Each structure stands twice: as C-alpha cells, then as structure tokens.
Amino acid sequence: MALSKEYTYWHLTPNGWFSGDSKTDFNSWSVDAPIDTVLTIKYEEKVSHSMSGLETSIERYNEIEDKSLVKNLELKFPFKGYIKVYE
C-alpha cells in the first residue's frame, strides 16, 4: 500500500484546462467534465514508501476523433502538471 496516492482528472477544452474529479489522501470530490472537453487526462502523484521519492504519471482518456483540434489545443495550452495554466 502506498503512503500517498492522489490524483486529479483534467479536462482540455477550447478555453484551457479545467480540473475534474480529485482524490487526496484525506478527501475526494466529483466535478462534472465541461461539455466541450476534447481530452481528459488523469494526473497522479504517488509516494510508495518512506524511502521513495514522488512518482508522477499521466494517463489520457476520452480523446475526441479530431486529432488536429486536440493537438492544436495542447500546443496552445500545454499541460504543466498539477497547476492550471491559462494564457
């Protein structure tokens, strides 16, 4: 069992990234995805044991078929980890 395992789902839209469902070590909450989501990713941070460092991972979900739109939005709004970045 991991010492810490937290995640947030992030939704890419034409207006940037928006946070969705999240789980921390002490709480969890649910947030509906925006209707105009083109890509959802799960950003996870985990500490396996007291001697290990922070492990991060990103999984992609629910990508729309228009790959060109997804690519252009990813270039316009690069994902910077846990922090939302808006231009």
Q: What is the pLDDT of residues 3-57, one digit of tens each?
A: 888 999 999 999 999 999 999 889 999 999 999 999 999 999 888 877 778 888 8
Give the C-alpha separation, 34 to 28, whole Å. 19
Residues 6+ apart with CB under 8 A from 34: 11, 13, 18
pLDDT for 84 beyond 50? no
What is the residue-wise DSSP string for 14-34? TTEEEEEEEE-SS-EE--PPP
Instruction: Return all residues near 46 (Cβ < 8 A) that are at least 6 apart.
Output: 2, 4, 5, 6, 54, 55, 56, 57
Which pLDDT band holds residue 87 (cuts at 50, 70, 90)?
A: very low
